[in-house]
Chains A and B, each alone.
Chain A
Amino acid sequence: MTERFSYPDDREAASAAQVRALEALLIEKGVISGQTVDKVLGYFESEMTPLNGRRIVARAWVDPAFSDRLVADTPKAVAELDLPVGMAGAEGEHLAAVRNEPGVHNVVICTLCSCFPWPVLGLPPYWYKDPVFRARAAREPRVVLTELGVPLDDDTEVRVWDSSGHSRWFVVPQRPAGTDGMTEDELAELVTTEAMMGVALASAPGAGTR
């Protein structure tokens, strides 16, 4: 990297100064405007949230044919729903859903960096990006899941999906028992981000969070 600036020693302050200077220079040179970054962040924070993923999962729970289409061709099935338009290039393309079923539990990780399905899950929680989590989840997913409070039978197969530039996986958790009378909107409330990453299960109300 070029030594464009000299930075204070403190890493946090140095990073903050570097980002500030970079944005200011890009604005000064006319590459972006003063509002560009705020607009992009605003779109992400208002439109690309786990709410989208919850609605997709709830629809899959009430409509088995949709669920099948979702697994077969995720972007096409997602397009059936009236969700915010994804921003091309921002890790929204190549969405791929995997479905938990009796005897099969799916977990999504990214071993190299965090290739997260932003449009359906929002931004990843910070621990997802931690090298320890990523390495351990790849090496011993069953142990990690037990630590996270996900009960798995010995005969349940654990499938680990490594997100990459080509596929951004998310999990369709199993519909919890005792939710037969619930509406699609009520069901969506039961779906957590963690459940869509496969590090938790969806639970019926009052059944506890684990």
Chain B
Amino acid sequence: MSGDHDDDFDPEAGFHPSCVGDVGRPEFDAPWQRRAFGLAVALSEFGHYPWEEFQQRLIGAIGAWQEAPSDARGRWEYYEHWVAALSGLVDDRGLLEPGYVMPEDREGGVTHAR
């Protein structure tokens, strides 16, 4: 594997300094990544889909990137795959469609404590 990775992650030159420091390690490079993370987790937490389903989507999106020829795929950006997985799942599950039934209103769905 080579070519279109971050320039600061060259395996021949060793690892990025953040690998060996616990302080100030970056979690999100941009606010939209944090937002996308929170959105995917929130929808799962509130019962719109099981987390495993999102996971499988993400694995699929990343797998497709990895199998594409390196000159035909864009630079690596983890959260783009995250957004693609999330967006596809929202479409497939019809979250934005008219008549979408909220998890708490489904028969045999979320049960409420009385």
Interface, chain A (partner B; CB < 8 A): 1-2, 11-12, 15-16, 18-20, 22-23, 25-26, 29, 31-32, 36-41, 44, 50, 87-91, 112-115, 122-127, 129-133, 135-136, 147-149, 165, 192-194, 199-200, 209-210
B1 interface contact, C-beta 8 A: yes
Interface, chain B (partner A; CB < 8 A): 1, 5-6, 9, 11, 14-16, 18-22, 25-32, 34-39, 41-46, 48, 50-52, 55-56, 58-59, 62-63, 66, 74, 76-80, 83-84, 86-88, 90-91, 95-96, 100, 102
Knowing A1-B84, A209-B20, the reply to whether A20 touches B66 (Cβ < 8 A) is no
Which residues on B sit within 8 Å (CB–CB) of A44?
38, 41
Which residues on A sit within 8 Å (CB–CB) of B80?
11, 15
Which residues on B sit within 8 Å (CB–CB) of A15?
32, 36, 77, 79-80, 83
Whole-angstrom distance between the alpha carbons of A179 and B49 in the complex? 46
Q: Are A192 and B22 in contact (CB under 8 A)?
A: yes
Knowing A132-B11, A135-B1, the reply to whether A125 touches B38 (Cβ < 8 A) is no
> What residue in chain A is nearest B97 (Cβ atoms)?
A29
Q: Are B42 and A37 in contact (CB under 8 A)?
A: yes
Whole-angstrom distance between the alpha carbons of A149 and B80 in the complex? 31
